[in-house]
Structure 1
Amino acid sequence: MARSKEFDPDAALQSALELFWRRGYEATSMSDLVEHLGIGRASLYATYGNKRDLYLKALDRYGEQRNPRLLRELSRPGPALPAVRAVVRRFAAEAADDGLRGTGCFVTNTAAELAPHDDAMARRVELSWEHVETLLHSALVRALEQGELPGDRDPRALARMLLVLLQGLRVVGKASADTARVRDAAEQALRLLD
């Protein structure tokens, strides 16, 4: 008869995500994971596979948690441009938040640490960025169609610029205590939507 798990795999995955997000992949050892999750090494391997497999699952979980919020924010009925502005300002506020400083964005962290030499990580980063870009593009197309955005603006190019801005805000916010830097950058970028 198989033994039942003595831990909650979902809660353990969330805990692993938080540890990887704070420390990064290389700085997190299997011993760190065993200690942080409070489960045995054999159970960890049996449930998630190796450290890389667990990291990939954590990265997927991060997207599952973040993407629905962004979708809700950018697909509400009515004017689209205020929603785009609100998302950019939210990212800037989160990047400037003292409580979040040092963590950045899990996808951005993965892009910097692992994507250059790990194809599976690079694919997940690219899929995440494509998702964000698509949501921004759709909102900007709606804004153009509703007359909120000047007719000479390219929604695809603007969506790409905003994606790069959002990722940059996360990087700068992670390393800098100068909150004006991220807020000013966001406001300057938003002027391109006028």
Structure 2
Amino acid sequence: MARPREFDPDVAVRQAMELFRRHGYHATSVPRLTAQLGIGTGSLYAAFGSKDGLYARALQGYCDDLIEVLDQDLRTGSDLRTALRGLLTSLVTTGTADPERGCLLVRAATERASHEGTVEQVRVAMTAVENVLTEALRRAQARGELRADHSPAELARFLTSFVQGLHVMGQTRVDRDFLADAVTGALRALD
């Protein structure tokens, strides 16, 4: 008879997510995972199938959270420019405060570019980010906050790329003023 699971898999996924964000996939070994999660190797494999299985769950949780927060931030802001400035400034602040933590999506795209499943997860997440931004830009255009000759889809693609670039630049430990200037420049695309 199998022993009942003595850990919460959702908590384990969250803890693993933080390890993968901070250290990447390759530097996060199974012994490091089991030590951090407080579980045995057998329990890890029984719950997630493999390190890859746990990574895929952690990446999916990260992407789901990212998209939910992005959508919520862009829906609750007073106007699009203010909401975007707040969102981008927050990325700069968190990125410069703890550059080693990084963005799991960026790490996945760069570190696991040859892993088909990871590439697909990243592609789906980036498309979802782009869709959230496109809808926010369309709402702003309908409210008169964005000129009619701007393409919400093109601007969303630019902003999706820019956000990922902010994450990368934050990990290179560039000066906060550099990133703040970049945010100001990016917001000019809305003029």
- TM > 0.5 fold call: yes
Unaligned stretches of 5+ residues in structure 1: none
Match of 1:26?
Answer: 26
Instruction: Measure how far apart 1:94 and its partner are.
Output: 2.3
Match of 2:101?
Answer: 103
Kindly report which structure 2 residues correspond to 1:2-151, keeping only aligned pairs within 5 A, or say none.
2-76=2-76, 79-96=79-96, 98=97, 100-114=98-112, 116-151=113-148
Task: Determine the C-alpha separation between the residues in 1 that align with 2:92 and 2:49.
Answer: 36
Q: Which runs of 4+ in 1 moved over 4 A?
A: none
Unaligned stretches of 5+ residues in structure 2: none
**Matched residue of 1:117: which SS?**
coil
TM-score normalised to structure 1 length: 0.91
Please, what is the CA RMSD of the aligned residues?
A: 1.6
Per-residue CA deviation, residues 144-165 of structure 1 (Å, 9 max, x unaligned), is 1211112221111111111111
Task: Determine the C-alpha separation between the residues in 2 that align with 1:79 and 1:178.
Answer: 28
Q: Which moved more, 1:87-96 or 1:180-189?
A: 87-96
Q: Tell whether the 8 Å contact from 1:140 to 1:159 is kept in structure 2 after alignment.
A: yes
Per-residue CA deviation, residues 121-177 of structure 1 (Å, 9 max, x unaligned), is 011101111111111111111111211112221111111111111000001101214
State the aligned residue count: 191
TM-score normalised to structure 2 length: 0.93
Instruction: Measure how far apart 1:77 and its partner are.
Output: 7.8
Task: Determine the C-alpha separation between the residues in 2 that align with 1:176 and 1:81.
Answer: 26
Task: Determine the C-alpha separation between the residues in 1 that align with 2:156 and 2:57.
Answer: 28
